[in-house]
Amino acid sequence: MQDGRGEGAGLRYPVLDALRGLAALGVVFHHIPANAGLSAAGFDANFGRMVDLFFVLSGFVIAASYGAKLSSGFSISRFLWLRWGRVWPLHATMLVVLAVAMLALGLARPDLRTHGLMAGANDPADLPLAVLLLQGIVPSRGPTWNHPSWSISVEMLLYVLAALGWRLLGDRAWGAWLGAALALLAFAGFGPGFDGLASNIARGVAGFGLGVLVHRALGQSRPRLNLHAATALELAALATLAWVLSASGNLAAFDLAAAALVALAAVQRGLVSRALMFAPFQWLGTISYALYMVHIFVIGRSFDILALVQDRLGLTIAQATIGGEDVLIGPGWQADIAKLAIMALCLVIAIPFAKLIEQPARAWSRRTFGQQLPNAGN
């Protein structure tokens, strides 16, 4: 989840920050299970597709920040350490939080143990893969630790491919990204498609490649749009995204609409872009990575608390068992309110993780790797 701040060149795209925040919020909404209200109507059935917007955003921002620098000899190891230092500390923190929580649950409820003293479906044997950020691209024994982190694993692979591509092909690397993106989208749309880890990687390459293309296109010729034209195009891109999400969630259609929206957001000429510059949207962008990384844990513990307290309070808000399958139940208004409350809790919990871990880690990364690494080679 690359932010809209170009570390490599001092660039800043605040509207992209807001888009990233809104996409993260959509993913959170999607991951709170409910069988009533908006979810029962299928409103958020395809909101998981918003992860693909992250990939498009990353392709654009990495191209803007590092494309020219990597082409002209910027250290590949320095670049990769900067990216690793940006995403890994919070990821590692969440692994510790999850492992401790599952161990504590296993000690408190021996009947829930699945692996030694540990409860839950995650296999401790998969922890080394998760620690190394390989869980999204290498087969594991059980479910991914902190499920959303699969996309962070794919992001790290994309950074490696990007660095090698710009070093080997220079400015021509955008053509390779475009070819790969279009081929993968065509195969996903007209061929047998992808499953499992292949799907993870294909989604990442396709979105990232389109993001690189958007940066290349804007660098060649930035459109001269007036306020009305830019606003109309922004609304059209948003409407297309909404239509894709409400229909099939088709990867190619979503990625192409997302690329158009990112291009318009980078130009920052329309009323939608202006609205996304407002403080609440910018704040959401600043905590988006923390929100994305903590939300699965917060959702799970929210249902655990409901399992403990709702009967004592004479309420039936969810079908919930500690450490088990959970779902919010009707009536519809109740499920929607509960879902919004859990989303609000995710936002609140994300704040200390952003301020105490993510942001200091970003500052540490820049201090440590902002200068040339000793014996950096490339």
Q: What is the pLDDT of residue 2?
A: 58
Select, from the ranges 277-286, 307-316, 322-331, the one with the highest average predicted confidence (pLDDT).
Answer: 277-286
Contacts (Cβ under 8 Å, ≥6 apart) of 193: 187, 199
Q: Helix, strand, or coil here: 48?
A: helix
22 class by beta-carbon count within 10 Å (0-12 exposed, 13-18 middle, 19+ buried): middle
User: Is the pLDDT score of 138 beyond 80?
Assistant: yes
How confident is the model at residue 9, as a pLDDT?
43
154 has a pLDDT exceeding 60? yes
The average confidence (pLDDT) of the chain is 91
Rounded to whole angstroms, the Cα distance separating 159 from 165 reads: 10
Confidence band (pLDDT; 50, 70, 90) for 107?
A: very high
Identify the band that residue 4 occupies on the pLDDT scale cut at 50, 70 and 90.
low
pTM of the model: 0.92
**Per-residue pLDDT, 254:** 96
Query: Whose CA is closest to 91, among 25, 27, 155?
Result: 155
Whole-number pLDDT of residue 66: 94
Please determine, for residue 8, whether its predicted confidence score (pLDDT) is greater than 50: no
Return the sign of the alpha-carbon dihedral for residues 143, 145, 147, 153: negative
pLDDT of the residue at 276: 97
Q: Decide if pLDDT at 266 tops 60.
A: yes
Q: Work out the average pLDDT over 72-80.
A: 93
Alpha-carbon 87 to chain mean position: 11
Q: Which amino acid belongs to residue 224?
A: R
Mean pLDDT along residues 271-289: 97
Question: What is the C-alpha separation between 34 and 15, in angstroms, rounded?
Answer: 31
Task: Name the one residue in this structure whose structure tokens are 């209200």.
Answer: 37
Burial status of residue 344 (CB atoms within 10 A of its CB: 0-12, 13-18, 19 or more): exposed
Distance of CA 101 to the CA centre of its chain: 23
Using DSSP's 3-state secondary structure scheme, residue 2 falls into coil
Q: Which of 12-21, 264-273, 311-320 has the lowest mean pLDDT?
A: 311-320
372, burial (CB in 10 Å: exposed 0-12, middle 13-18, buried 19+): exposed
Burial of residue 262 (number of CB atoms within 10 Å: 0-12, 13-18, 19+): buried
Residue 1 has pLDDT above 70, yes or no: no
Looking at residues 77-103, what average pLDDT do you find? Answer: 95
| Greater pLDDT, 371 or 242 | 242
| β 5-6/118-119 pair status | unpaired
**49-71 burial: b if 16+ Cβ within 10 Å, else e:** bbbbbbbbbbbbbbbbbbbbebb
pLDDT of residue 377: 38
pLDDT at 222: 79
Q: Which structure tokens are listed for 228? A: 């009305």
Mean pLDDT over 181-209 rounds to 90
